[in-house]
Amino acid sequence: MTQHGDAVPTAMWIIPHTHWDREWYEPHDVFRARLIPVIDQLLTLLDDADEYRFTLDGQTAMVEDYLAIRPENAERLSAAVTRGQLAVGPFAILMDEFCCDGETMVRNLERGIRIARAIGGEMRVGYLPDMFGHAAQMPQILKGFGLTDAALWRGAPAAVGTDAFRWRALDGSEVRVEYLWDGYGSALKLFDPPDRVDRLVAEYVQAHASRLCGHPPAGMFGTDHMSPRADMLDLISRHNARHPEAHLVLATLGEVVASRSHDAVDLQALPVVDGELRSHARGNILPGVLSIRTGLKAAMARAERGLTTAERLDAAVGGASRRKLCEHGWNLVVESSAHDSVTGCGCDDTAEDTLTRLHVAANTARGVIDIALPRLAGRIPAGAPAAFNQSGWARGLQGETVLEVSANDVPEGAQLIEALPVVLGDEWLPVADMPRVLRRIHGRELFGHAICGYRFPTADGLVFEVSRHDHGTFDHAAFSQELQHRLARGHPEKLWHVVTRALPSYRVLLTGRAAGMSAARLLTGGAVEHAVHVSERTLDNGLVRIDVDDDGLVAVTDLPSGRAVARALALTDEGDRGDSYNYGPVQSGAVTRPTEVDIKVEEQGPLRGRIRIRRVHRLPVGLNGDGSSRGSDIRDQTIDTLLEVRGDERFVRVRVTFVNLVGNHRLRVHVPTCGRDLPGSVAAGQYGVTLRGRVGEGGWGEFPLPTYPAARFVHAGGVAVLTDRTMEYEIVTPGTDAGEASDRPDEIVLTLLRAVGLMSVNLHPLRDEPAGAELNVPGAQYLGTTVDTNFAIDLSCPDWDDSDIIRHADQFRFEPVLVTGTGEEAAEPAVTPPLTTHGRVALESLRRLDDGALEARLVNYYHHPEPLRVRAAGEWDRTDLSGAVMEERVPLWELDVPAATILTLRRRPTIPSVVTPPREKRREFSQETEA
C-alpha cells in the first residue's frame, strides 16, 4: 500500500473534508455566507502546499455558491481541482434518496458532473455521506454515469463486517462501496489533543483491524460546516517522522478509492448487499422525515410532474427550444432535494425557502407549458376543447371546461358540474359616476369577457352583454358617444342602473381518449364505456364499486374479480412527542372514532362520481406538561375525505383534506389488505420496486420503527395504494397492539401528518442521540396549514409483478394538460406522438436535447424481463445515463428490457448530427477504477 510513489507503508489515509448541509438549522443564505471564509482559507492552504488535499463533500453546489460571490477565484479553484488537490462532485447536491424521484437523481448527477468538468473534472466516487439511508437503484444510477464506486455510511446492514462491500441494485448492477462504518468524521477524534496523535491512530487501526483486513482505513477528517485545519500537514509530517514504518497520508476521497483494488477477484471476495440500505445497525436513518412537513413532499412531486409534463409537451410540439427553462426548473428541484431540505428536518426558514423554490420550479414548468401550448392549440379547431396526454400509454382522459351554451344545449354525455354566474355586475350609479363605466372597458374587454352587445332598456338603464369568446362587434366610439348623449339628456339627480350580463355558461366535465402521448379532442357522448352510477352511498362504474357505511368507513370491491375490502379509511390520531427526525409515541390518548359524520354526494356521474365524507374528531390540542401523554384541552378537528370513481378506471381515488388545528400528533389512515400476518410489503420509488419485511434491523441508538417510504405505489396482501408523492406507510396487524385477538386483515397505514414543535429533541423515546439542536420549529406543527393527500385504492393487481400496477400509478398521478383549439378545422391527430408505450415498461422522461436529438428514459419496474413494446418514429440508439451510445439502432418493439432496468434511448437528430464531443480525460488517480 503506497501513495505518491514512495514505498512507505500507509497506516491510515487522512481525508480532510467538510460536510456542507447547504441549508438546515440555518437557511441557505446564512450557510453560504459562512461558506465564503471557509473556501477562501481552503484555497490559500491548497495554493501554499502541494501536499494539501481536500474533498468538497461530493457535491458541486458549494462551488457554485462560492463562485457566485467570489467569481474572481474561479481560476484558483479550478487549478486546485486540476492539480488533484481538491475533489469536487460528482453530485450537484447531496439529496435525500427517498424524498425525490429517480429522474431527479439522474438530473442531479448530470448537473454535478457538468459543473465539475467545467472546473477540472469530477471525483469519480458516488459519495453519499449523510443521507438517511440509500435507495435500491442507486448503484444502477451510478453505473449509468460510469461511476463504479460509492462511499457511504448510514443504512448498511450489521452483517457487513468489512471496510468495503459490493452494493447491488435491483437489476444486478454493482458498485464497490468504500464503507465509512463509523461515519464521515471517523478521524476527527484522532488529532486532539495533538500530542496524543500517535497513540490515538495506533489504537484506532488496532481496534478495527478485523474490519480492515490489512487495508489502511479511510480516515474522514471533517464534520458539518467545518473549516480546513491549517496545521494538518504539520501534524502529519511530525507523526510520520516519528513513525517511518506507518505513515499517515493526506488524500482526497477519490485518491483513496482509486488506491483500492478493483481486480475482479478482489471485488468478488467482498460481501454483497442487495437493494436499499435502510438498516439502523450502525447509524440512525431518521425515518420520521418521511412524514414531517408533508407539504414539501407534495411540492417536490408536483414540481417533478410539472417538469416531466413540460418536457414531453415541448418534445411533442417542437419549435423554438425551451430547454433552458426546463433546466432552470430541474435545477431548483435538484437543489431542493438535499437531505435537510425536502426532508423538512431543518429550521422553519429552510422549510419556507425549500417550499418556495419548489413552487418556483412548478411555475417554471407551467411557463414552459404556457408558451408551448399555442403550437398545439393552433392545430386544433377553434373553440374545441382538447387535452394533451403526457403519459406514454394510450388512455382515457377527463377534463373540465366551460361551455357557453344555453341550458338546453349542454351536450349529451358531458357531465354538468355547475352553472356559472350570469350577472357579472348590477349597480346603481349617479350620473356623475357614469364615466367610471367607460374606464372599465379596455378595447372590447369588460370584466375579463368580451363585449358582444349593449342596450339602453330605459332612459337611465344600461345593459352590457359579454361573452367568454371574442365574437360580435363593439364600436367603442359609437357607444361612448351615445352614452354621453343620453347622460346629457337625462335627469342629473337620477341613478342609472347598469347591468353586465354574461351569456349562459356551464362548467362541464368532458372525456376523450388519447392514442398515446398526443393531443386528443375532448368529446361528448359515448366516450366512456364504464359510466359511473351514483346513489346516496355508492359509486359504481362496473369495474370498481364503493359503499359508504353510516360511520364513514368504506367498502371497496373490484367487480370483475369480486375481491373486496371492508371498513377502509379509518383514521387514527396519536400524540407525537418526537421531532422532525423521529416519531415519538406517547402512552395514551389515541383517537380513532369520529364524533360526527356527514356523507354527501357531490357529483352524480356519468363521467365522474364523488362522495364527500366529513368527519369530526375530538383531538387533544397538545401534550401535557412533561410531554409523556396528550393534554386535556380538546378541539374539534374536521377531516374531509373525497371519494372519486371515474368512468373506465378500475381504482378509487381518495383525497383527504383538513386544516390542521392541533399540535404534537400523528394522523394516519388505514387501508385494509386481503391478508393476515403478512410477511411484508412491496413499494415503488426511485426507479425501482423494493420488497420489505415487517421488522427493521436495529443495533445503533434508534428504534427500528417499520415505517417506510413509497412513491408510485405500496402493495401488501393483494391490495395496492397508488400515491402521487413520497408517502410514509406501515403494515399493521390489527388487534395485536391491545393484545386482543382479531381476525381483521392487516392494513396498509399511511401517515397523513406528523406535527411536532422541535427540530430535534434531546431526550427522545426512540432515539439515543440528538439528530441536531433542540431548536423550536413552530412551522412543523402545521397549525392552520391545509394538509391535502391524494392516493388511490386498487384491488385489481393482486400479484404486483404480474399486473398493470405501474400503468395504473401513471394514470393516477398524471392529469392531462387542457387546451382550447385556435386553429382551422383539421384532421386529427394534432401532433404525431413522439413515442407511445404499449407494454408494461413505463416512460419516465422524454426531452429534446440541444443537438436536436430526443432522449427517452423508460423503466421496467417489474422483477422479470418485459418486452419494450414502444412505437416511435426515427432511429434510436441505446445510451447510458450520461448519453454515451451503448448500442446502435435498437428494436423498439422487440427489445427485451431486463428486470428492474432503467433504459435510456436517444433518437438520432433529424437535422445533420453534431458529433458528440469526446468525454473529457479522467483524472489520473481514477484511471484504475475505470479499467
Q: What single-letter DSSP state applies at residue 53?
A: -
Q: Going by DSSP bridges, is the β-strand pair 385-388/519-521 parallel, antiparallel, or unpaired?
A: antiparallel
Nearest approach, Cβ of 282 to Zn ion (angstroms)?
17
Nearest approach, Cβ of 215 to Zn ion (angstroms)?
26
Nearer to Zn ion, 227 or 467 (CB): 227
Nearest approach, Cβ of 152 to Zn ion (angstroms)?
12
Q: What single-letter DSSP state applies at residue 592?
A: -
Compute and round to an integer the Cα radius of gyration of the chain: 31
Nearer to Zn ion, 21 or 182 (CB): 21
Instruction: Give me 392's grid cell.
Output: 406514454
702 forms part of the interface with Zn ion (CB under 5 A): no
Phi, psi of 284 (to 5 degrees): -70, 140
Query: Which residue stretch of 126-134, 172-180, 308-316, 532-540 sits at the interface with Zn ion (rule: CB under 5 A)?
Result: 126-134
Nearest approach, Cβ of 339 to Zn ion (angstroms)?
5
Nearest approach, Cβ of 33 to Zn ion (angstroms)?
18
Task: Tell which residue, 279, 293, 184, 193, has the closest CA to residue 235.
Answer: 193
Nearest approach, Cβ of 259 to Zn ion (angstroms)?
26
Nearest approach, Cβ of 24 to Zn ion (angstroms)?
7
Distance CA 560, CA 173 (A): 39
Nearer to Zn ion, 106 or 128 (CB): 128
Nearest approach, Cβ of 100 to Zn ion (angstroms)?
15
Nearest approach, Cβ of 184 to Zn ion (angstroms)?
9
Judged by DSSP in three states, 27 sits in: coil
Judged by DSSP in three states, 665 sits in: strand
Query: Which residue stretch of 21-29, 327-335, 496-504, 874-882 sits at the interface with Zn ion (rule: CB under 5 A)?
Result: 21-29
Nearest approach, Cβ of 526 to Zn ion (angstroms)?
57
Nearer to Zn ion, 652 or 771 (CB): 771
Non-local CB neighbours of 646 within 8 Å, separated by 6+ positions: 396, 398, 532, 541, 607, 608, 653
Distance CA 693, CA 670 (A): 19
Instruction: Give me 353's grid cell.
Output: 425557502
Nearer to Zn ion, 20 or 167 (CB): 20
Nearest approach, Cβ of 224 to Zn ion (angstroms)?
6
Nearest approach, Cβ of 21 to Zn ion (angstroms)?
4
Nearer to Zn ion, 341 or 364 (CB): 341
130 forms part of the interface with Zn ion (CB under 5 A): yes
Nearer to Zn ion, 21 or 122 (CB): 21
Q: Is residue 533 within 8 Å of 526, Cβ to Cβ?
A: no
Distance CA 842, CA 102 (A): 13
Nearest approach, Cβ of 280 to Zn ion (angstroms)?
17
Nearest approach, Cβ of 925 to Zn ion (angstroms)?
26
Give, to the nearest 10 degrees, the angle between helix 323-336 and helix 294-317: 160
**Sign of the dihedral defined by the CA atoms of residues 412, 413, 414, 417, in that order:** positive
Nearer to Zn ion, 772 or 821 (CB): 772
Query: Which residue stretch of 20-28, 214-222, 233-241, 742-750 sits at the interface with Zn ion (rule: CB under 5 A)?
Result: 20-28
Nearest approach, Cβ of 131 to Zn ion (angstroms)?
8
Nearer to Zn ion, 344 or 647 (CB): 344
Give, to the nearest 10 degrees, the angle between helix 74-82 and helix 28-48: 60
Q: Going by DSSP bridges, is the β-strand pair 218-221/10-16 parallel, antiparallel, or unpaired?
A: parallel
Query: Which residue stretch of 129-137, 402-410, 512-520, 792-800 sits at the interface with Zn ion (rule: CB under 5 A)?
Result: 129-137
Residues paired with residue 668 on neighbouring β-strands, in sequence order: 572, 751
Q: Is residue 306 within 8 Å of 601, Cβ to Cβ?
A: no
Nearest approach, Cβ of 637 to Zn ion (angstroms)?
35
Query: Which residue stretch of 17-25, 61-69, 299-307, 655-663 sits at the interface with Zn ion (rule: CB under 5 A)?
Result: 17-25
Query: Which residue stretch of 41-49, 130-138, 661-669, 682-690 sits at the interface with Zn ion (rule: CB under 5 A)?
Result: 130-138
Distance CA 32, CA 457 (A): 67
Nearer to Zn ion, 123 or 684 (CB): 123
Q: Give the number of residues in contact with Zn ion, rule: CB under 5 A.
A: 2
**How far, CA to CA in Å, does 201 sit from each of 220, 249, 349?**
13, 12, 41
Nearer to Zn ion, 186 or 690 (CB): 186
Non-local CB neighbours of 622 within 8 Å, separated by 6+ positions: 630, 631, 633, 662, 663, 664
Q: What single-letter DSSP state applies at residue 917?
A: P
DSSP letter string, 289-309: GGGBSHHHHHHHHHHHHHHHH
Distance CA 406, CA 503 (A): 8
* Terminal-residue alpha carbon distance, the chain: 19
In the complex, residue closest to Zn ion by CB: 130
Please enumerate, as own/partner, the contacts of 109-114 that have beta carbons within 8 Å and a separation of 24 or more. Answer: 109/141, 109/142, 109/145, 109/881, 110/145, 110/881, 110/882, 111/60, 111/330, 111/331, 111/334, 112/59, 112/60, 113/89, 113/145, 113/882
Query: Which residue stretch of 128-136, 200-208, 763-771, 896-904 sits at the interface with Zn ion (rule: CB under 5 A)?
Result: 128-136
Nearer to Zn ion, 130 or 576 (CB): 130
> Cα 208 from chain centroid?
39
Q: Mark residues 202-221: x for contact with Zn ion by CB under 5 A, - for none.
A: --------------------
> Cα 557 from chain centroid?
31
Query: Which residue stretch of 122-130, 433-441, 470-478, 669-677 sits at the interface with Zn ion (rule: CB under 5 A)?
Result: 122-130
101 forms part of the interface with Zn ion (CB under 5 A): no
Nearer to Zn ion, 341 or 785 (CB): 341
Task: Tell which residue, 311, 329, 331, 328, has the closest CA to residue 372.
Answer: 311
Nearer to Zn ion, 21 or 101 (CB): 21
Nearest approach, Cβ of 37 to Zn ion (angstroms)?
20
Query: Which residue stretch of 16-24, 516-524, 603-611, 641-649 sits at the interface with Zn ion (rule: CB under 5 A)?
Result: 16-24
Nearer to Zn ion, 228 or 329 (CB): 228
Non-local CB neighbours of 400 within 8 Å, separated by 6+ positions: 417, 507, 508, 509, 510, 818
Q: Is residue 840 within 8 Å of 903, Cβ to Cβ?
A: no
Nearer to Zn ion, 130 or 171 (CB): 130
Query: Which residue stretch of 19-27, 545-553, 829-837, 855-863 sits at the interface with Zn ion (rule: CB under 5 A)?
Result: 19-27
Nearer to Zn ion, 21 or 314 (CB): 21
Query: Binder to Zn ion among 11, 21, 334, 746 (CB under 5 A)?
Result: 21
Nearer to Zn ion, 355 or 771 (CB): 771
Task: Tell which residue, 273, 278, 280, has the closest CA to residue 169.
Answer: 273
Nearest approach, Cβ of 130 to Zn ion (angstroms)?
3
Residues that bind Zn ion in the complex, under the rule CB under 5 A:
21, 130
